[in-house]
Amino acid sequence: MTRIRVESLSVGYDRHPAVVSLSGVFEPASLTAVVGPNGSGKSTLLKALAGHCKPLAGRIDLGGLKPSEIAYLPQAHGLDLKFPLTLEDLVSFGFIGQRGLFGGFAKVDRERLHGLMAQVGLEGLERRPIGSVSGGQLQRALFARVMAQDAKLVLLDEPFNGIDARAAEDLAQLMARWPEQGRTVIAVLHDLDLVRRLCPGSLVMARQAVAWGPTDQAISPEQLTRARKLAESWNVSDEPPADVVQHTEHV
Amino acid sequence: MSGLLFSTHLGDQMTLMALKSAAAGAVALAFGGAPLGVLMIARRLSLMGDALSHGILPGVAIAFIFAGRDPVALTVGALTAGLIVAGLSSLLARTGKLPDDAAFAIFYLSALALGVLLLGKMGKADEMEALLFGSTQALDASGLVLAGAAASATLIGLALFLRGVLGEGADPVFMRTLGARFGLSHLLLMLLLALNLVAGFRAFGALMTVALMTIPAAAARFWAKGYGGQAAWAVALSAVSGLIGLFLAALWGAEPGALMTVCAALLFGVSALVGTNGGLLQTRLAKTHLRGLKA
């Protein structure tokens, strides 16, 4: 069980912070939705947790998790869809982290692979090339890959964007069950109905934490309006350099 | 320089022995090179093999200076140069500052220049030409052992690392999230490529060797969807074009490497036309079918 803690965390690009002085804890085996207006630093927070960009300030305590114990599904997958690869091949990449590069196809993996394909509703499509399936089917396969990784921390960045409603609902139900399996899940989500239905905890962001706690309290109309107003104030000044950091630290 | 571009001894009638060992070499090259060719094409790196075939030149030249026509020295020289060019360019590409092909261009062009300089200094272009032309007579016992070893190393390497190699090719971002060591599969691919190239260049000429890796692999795309299927098709097509090319070359006293490549190109044409995975005929038929539906 791993507790993820961030302390006075600032993350950004070219010294422009997208996340400013964020402090808090993601409890073990919890499911936290990260919501907030565009440009509020949600994706950047996930990237930082995944180890893809270094904090400008503050720190992240992953409780000793190794990179192979973190599954990160970015907003835009980096898949080359023309690559001669089947859905099954794609899902099997999830085993690499545990098996190492030498990991041939052990029998156990084969069986797990079939189980995973069935769980995400891709039975019978195992041999389909990745370039010939719908966005929803591809996302189902990517979810199966996340499950194959058997990660302790799962980071999902807008995983239900641009896919059909049926796939979105199926995958959201799967995601909601991961904490029962001991996984900590942090998901950037837009659909507030879905957040209220399935996510016990929420973090409302506008570069800093506007609200962080049980979803019914965190996602209130007042907090969301506050987040939007904060975000608008950032956008007006457009590129807020270092003085903004100081400003928020005083808030 | 033309030595690297077109292979073989003109005119010499091949002895039956030489034909047999050349055939064995061509089959070995098919098993080693074609599966790599499929990966190179999938990663849009098919010109990389081409580049690497020039990159081995300084190694061959240096080996020639010190050991003359000794086959072992030539092979070691070529392999060393190939590995250096492949290794350095992979490392440079890993930094993410340059795309793979640019990183490769820097090192292979430098190697090519160095090779040309060394050759010129030696002033033994004639002798050199016989070696660089590639000659099926050169496939002696040691050459065959090397070709077999290259094929075995490739198949074993791919069997062990296939997941990593495919993952790195299809989804490098994901592989990086697993940890930096997984980027090494790219290096493995380059090393195997260099090994197969070196195994083929003395017999068939460096560029023709690359051709036998990539053209059948390209044709395989018209027959199968997944990597496994494409690799199997590529091996078969490469072996068939190699054997037919050799046989015709022996019959007509023509250049084996070039004839093998022409055979591969013809098979590519046939595949593109009648292939079951998006061949021209198939797509045409599908279109007519759709038109019928509309009407």
DSSP secondary structure letters along A125-165:
-TTSBGGGS-HHHHHHHHHHHHHHHT-SEEEEESTTTTS-H
Mean per-residue pLDDT of chain B: 82
- Higher-confidence position of A230 and B68: A230
CB spacing of A83 vs B163 below 8 angstroms: no
Other Cβ atoms less than 10 A from the Cβ of A62: the count is: 20
CB spacing of B169 vs A80 below 8 angstroms: yes
CB spacing of A90 vs B171 below 8 angstroms: yes
Give the strand pairing for A184-188 and A4-13: unpaired
Other Cβ atoms less than 10 A from the Cβ of A205: the count is: 27
Secondary structure element (H or E) that encloses residue B278, with its range = none
The residue of chain A with its CA nearest to that of B179 is: A67
Find chain B residues with C-beta within 8 A of A70's C-beta: 177
Which residues lie below 8 Å from residue A230, measured CB to CB, with a gap of 6+? Answer: A206, A207, A208, A210
Residues of chain A with pLDDT > 70, as a percent, come to: 88
Query: Which whole number is the average pLDDT over B34-45?
Result: 90
- Higher-confidence position of B102 and B4: B102
Find chain B residues with C-beta within 8 A of A132's C-beta: 225
Distance CA A123, CA A43 (A): 32
Record the pTM. Answer: 0.80
Residues of chain A with pLDDT > 90, as a percent, come to: 52
Out of B38, B173, B178, name the one closest to residue A84 (CB).
Answer: B38
Surface-to-core class of residue B18, CB atoms within 10 Å of its CB (0-12 exposed, 13-18 middle, 19+ buried): buried
Whether A197 and A211 have beta carbons less than 8 Å apart is answered as no
Whether B196 and B29 have beta carbons less than 8 Å apart is answered as yes
The residue of chain B with its CA nearest to that of A71 is: B177
Which residues lie below 8 Å from residue B156, measured CB to CB, with a gap of 6+? Answer: none
Whether A70 and A50 have beta carbons less than 8 Å apart is answered as yes
Find chain A residues with C-beta within 8 A of B175's C-beta: 93, 96
CB spacing of A74 vs B185 below 8 angstroms: no
How many angstroms away from the CA of B175 is the closest CA of chain A? 9
How many angstroms away from the CA of B229 is the closest CA of chain A? 9
CB spacing of B179 vs A51 below 8 angstroms: no
Query: Which whole number is the average pLDDT over B122-138?
Result: 60
Whether B86 and B191 have beta carbons less than 8 Å apart is answered as yes
pLDDT for B131 equals 53
Query: Which whole number is the average pLDDT over A61-72?
Result: 88
Out of B159, B224, B225, name the one closest to residue A104 (CB).
Answer: B159
The residue of chain A with its CA nearest to that of B223 is: A84
Whether A1 and A14 have beta carbons less than 8 Å apart is answered as no
Mean per-residue pLDDT of chain A: 86
CB spacing of B170 vs A74 below 8 angstroms: no
Distance CA B284, CA A132 (A): 19
Distance CA B295, CA B286 (A): 14
Other Cβ atoms less than 10 A from the Cβ of A167: the count is: 20
pLDDT for B115 equals 83
CB spacing of B185 vs A78 below 8 angstroms: no
DSSP secondary structure letters along A9-59:
EEEEETTEEEEEEEEEEE-TT-EEEEE-STTSSHHHHHHHHHTSS--SEEE
Mutate to test the interface with A, among B171, B176, B188 (most CBs of A within 10 A): B171
Q: How confident is the model at residue B128 (pLDDT cuts 50, 70, 90)?
A: low
